[in-house]
Amino acid sequence: MSDAPPTLDEMEARWRQMGDVDIIMPFDIFNLARCLTDAADRAGAMRLANKFFDEFGKPFQRRVYFVLLRFLEGDLGEIEDLEARLLDGLGSESLWVAYDAAWVCQSLEPLPEALRVKLSDLKKRYPPDDSARPGDAAAALGRKLSEIPGLGDD
């Protein structure tokens, strides 16, 4: 067993495989996103991330993309079409994808108006629910939206 970090080709293969499964552990999503974030070839990892966003729309694959953006902690200068991609994520049928996109939006300063409008709409549809069970995507999204200032009802 090698301790070497995965190559971009190995990360691409893992990302592709995520499109073929119905169930995946969040650890696998976060692990791949962390590998991409920490890749020695950062530019190559970002090209791969941008390519995969355009090519793949499965929720697990999209989550890797948005978790990668979360791990960049606001250093989003290399992201192509960021606002359009975030709007796409916020509009996802998968609430976990929307959650991750909202998390990224939280780091934007200033928050573009189109994102503010979309986030405000989501906040009305998904109010925070602290009584929900852990792992409830709608409740998690509602809590995340309540943390973003300037969306109304603050």
pLDDT mean for each 10 residues of the chain (154 residues): 78 84 88 90 86 83 92 77 94 95 92 95 88 81 92 70
Residue 131 lies in a domain: yes
Domain around 121: 81-146
Helical spans, DSSP H, in the chain: 8-17, 26-37, 42-55, 59-71, 82-90, 95-105, 113-125, 137-146
**Both 118 and 139 in a single domain?**
yes
**Both 67 and 87 in a single domain?**
no
DSSP 85-117: HHHHHHT-SSHHHHHHHHHHHTT-SSPPHHHHH
Residue 153 lies in a domain: no
Cβ pair 48, 6 in contact under 8 A: no
**Both 90 and 122 in a single domain?**
yes
Global confidence as pTM: 0.87
Q: What is the pLDDT of residue 43?
A: 85
The Cα–Cα gap between 4 and 7 comes to: 9
**Both 73 and 95 in a single domain?**
no
